[in-house]
Structure 1
Amino acid sequence: MNFAIVGCGFIAKKHAAAIEKIDAAKLVAVCDKVPTVMDFYKEEYDAKPYTELEDMLEKEDIDIVCICTPSGFHASIAVQVAEAKKHIIVEKPIAMTVEDTDTIVNACKINNIKLAVVHPNRFRPVVQELRKIIDQGLLGKISHASCIVNWNRNQEYYDQAPWRGTKQHDGGVLMNQAIHNLDLLLWFMGSPEQVFSMEATRFRNIEAEDVSIGTIKFDSGALGTVEASTTVYPKNYEESITIFGEKGTVKIGGSNAIYFEHLDIKDMSEREINDLKERIKADPWGTPGHQWIMEDMVNAIKEGRNPAVTGEDGRRALELVLSFYESAQKNQPIQL
């Protein structure tokens, strides 16, 4: 299947590299308003460059379009792509507002187009194994969970482009970094019922937040905490999710949440636990998440099914972030 990329910034290179690794895929075109940023894709992948999206959609034989622009532009581009009857893979967050998200989802439904959102952390081996543990009921009833993203993004990171750190096109640590972990928290814990959050902009010269602390009550009655920042000195410190159940406690962690830091389950033997830990250590990253997303979209089209991470999944993660923002602004709990 033929792929195209819209928006040739940093994340687009991950998309291009993932497409190249898939036998059934080829990058045929790229689109960006700045011609020089497309030179790499023309030279490396023989992709044809376009400065106008309409021209690319009309002239190229494209099956799937990857949207890698700043988040605030996702909706307008997605509608144009959907109306051209091309399937869509959109980077996280799916959009900056629920209204824009619904516009994207509805445009894809009307035009019978498949829509996938890039939440690649779901496909890390340790995350897949934790999901199996939860699905098998090995943790029993869950009391609470903890989600931590304490990373470093220095001022130079935000100064790379004028849209970084803005509320309109990028958001802060919750929207841009921790949204992956919030997606996992929802995937593990179910729907949120109520949130309360406080946030601040402590170190970075940006419009949005660089540190956020929040709590969640899930509809199951379980509770959750979220701690996220880009203020950590001098580099990424911790990315983790810990789940506490009546029959087990599991923490996936490290600086990028790719290992079992703690695994203690009543109905698993010590040998089973050690074998699982060692298997994850042997290949902690597995198949890159972006490659998973691309391959899954190709297969979803062939098999006539939904992609693994749907527009509705992207909407849920976005809605949780926006609820945290609303709570911090109003200094009160928000009912979802």
Structure 2
Amino acid sequence: MNFAIVGCGFIAKKHAQAIENIQGAKLVAVCDKVSKAMEYYVDTYEAKAFTEFSEMLQREDIDIVCICTPSGLHAPLAEEAARARKHIILEKPIAMTLEETDRIIYACKENSVKLAVVHPNRFRPVVQELRGILNRGLLGTISHANATVNWNRNQEYYDQALWRGTKQYDGGVLMNQAIHNLDLLLWFMGQPEQIFSMEATRLRKIEAEDVSTGVIRFESGALGTVEASTTVYPRNFEESITIFGEKGTVKIGGANALYFECLTIEGMSEEEAEEILNKVKADPWGKPGHQCIIEDMIEAVNENREPAVTGEDGRRALELVLAFYESAAGNEPIYMKPVKVCM
């Protein structure tokens, strides 16, 4: 299948490299308002460069468009790509508002195109192992869970582009960094019912938050805590998810949530636990997550099924972030309803 990329910043290179590593996939076009930003893709992949998105979409040989622009630009570009009957791989977050998100999902359904949201952490070996443990019910009833992202993004990071750290185009630590962790928390724990959050902008000169804490009550009755920041000195400190059940305690952690830091389950022998731990340690990153997302999209198109990470999945993660923002702004609990996409 032939791919196009719109938005030729840092994350676009991960898409291009992933496409190159997939047999039968080819990057044929790129689009950016800044011509110089496209030179790498023209020179390396022989992609055709476009400064106008509508012009690029006229190419009939493009099957899938990867949208890698600032988040605040996702909605109009995704809608336009859907109307051009191109399947869409959309970087996180899916959009900045639920109204924009619903427009994207509707446009894709209306034009019979597939939509995948880039939450690649789901494909990490340790995450897949934990998902399997939960699917098998090995932890029993879950009492509570913790999700933590304590990272470093210094002022130079935010000063790279005017849109970074803005509420309109980027958001803060929850929307930009921790949303992957929140996606995993929802994938593991199910629908939130009630949340309460506090946030602050402590160290970075940005419009959005650089530190956030919150608590969640899930529909199952289980509780959750969330802690996220970009203020940690001097480098990324921890990304983790810990789940406490009546029959086990499991924590995936490290600076990037790549390893089991605890794997204690009733009835699981030391030998079995050691085998799982060693399997993850042998290849902690696994196949690059962007490659998994793109390969899955190709299969979804060929098999006429939904992608592994759908627009609705992206909406759930966004809805949780926005509920955290609303709670912090009003200093009050937020009661959440099951996801219902407005058409």
Name the TM-score, length of structure 2 as normaliser: 0.98
Q: In structure 1, what is the equivalent of residue 276 of structure 2?
A: 276
* 1:171 Cα offset (Å): 0.1
Deviation at 1:24, TM superposition (A): 2.0
Task: State how far apart, in whole Å, the 2-side matches of 1:2 and 1:193 are.
Answer: 41
- Runs of 4+ in structure 1 displaced over 4 angstroms? none
Determine the C-alpha separation between the residues in 2 that align with 1:243 and 1:140: 11
1:88: Cα distance to partner? 0.1
Task: Indicate the residue corresponding to 1:89 in structure 2.
Answer: 89
What is aligned with 1:44? 44
State the distance in 2 between where 1:24 and 1:268 align: 42
- CA displacement, residues 126-184 of structure 1 (integer Å, 9 cap, x when unaligned): 00000000000000000000000000000000000000000000000000000000000
**Residue in 1 that maps onto 2:195:** 195
Encode CA deviations 1:272-308: one digit per residue, 9 max, x unaligned.
0011000100000000000000000000000110000
Conserved? CA contact 1:7–1:32, under 8 Å = yes
Matched ranges for 1:299-314 at <5 A: 299-314=299-314
Match of 2:149 in 1: 149
What's the offset of the Cα at 1:59?
3.0
Aligned to 1:119: 119
2:247 is the alignment partner of 1:247: yes
| 3-state SS of paired residue (2:58) | helix
Shift of 1:268: 1.0
Alignment of 1:102-113 (within 5 A): 102-113=102-113
SS at match of 1:145: strand
Paired position in structure 2 for 1:15 = 15
Aligned partner of 1:207 in structure 2 is 207
CA distance in 2, matches of 1:268, 1:143: 20
Residue number in structure 2 paired with 1:68: 68
Deviations 1:54-81 (A, max 9, x none): 1111135100000000000000000110
> Matched residue of 1:59: which SS?
coil
Query: Aligned letter for 2:124?
Result: R
Alpha-carbon spacing, 1:60–1:28, altered in 2? closer, same or farther (3 Å): farther
Match of 1:57 in 2: 57
Q: Residue 331 in 1 paired to residue 326 in 2? A: no
Which residue of structure 2 lines up, in the alignment, with residue 32 of structure 1?
Answer: 32
Structure 2: tracts of 5 or more residues without a match: 337-343
Give the corresponding residue for 1:99: 99
5+ residue gaps, structure 1: none
Report what 2:185 is aligned to.
Answer: 185
TM, length-normalised to structure 1: 1.00
Query: C-alpha displacement at 1:38, in angstroms?
Result: 0.1
Q: Please give the alpha-carbon distance, in whole angstroms, between the structure 1 residues aligned to 2:58 and 2:5.
A: 15
State how far apart, in whole Å, the 1-side matches of 2:198 and 2:54 are: 42
Instruction: Confirm or deny: 8 A CA contact 1:173 1:230 kept in the other structure.
Output: yes
**Cα distance in structure 2, aligned partners of 1:85 and 1:183:** 28
For 2:239 and 2:276, the matched residues in 1 are separated by: 20
Paired-residue identity, %? 74
Aligned length: 336
CA distance in 1, matches of 2:165, 2:310: 26
What is the letter of the counterpart of residue 303 of structure 2?
Answer: E
Structure 1 SS opposite 2:178: helix
Matching residue of 1:6: 6
| CA–CA separation in structure 1 for the residues paired with 2:318 and 2:21 | 30
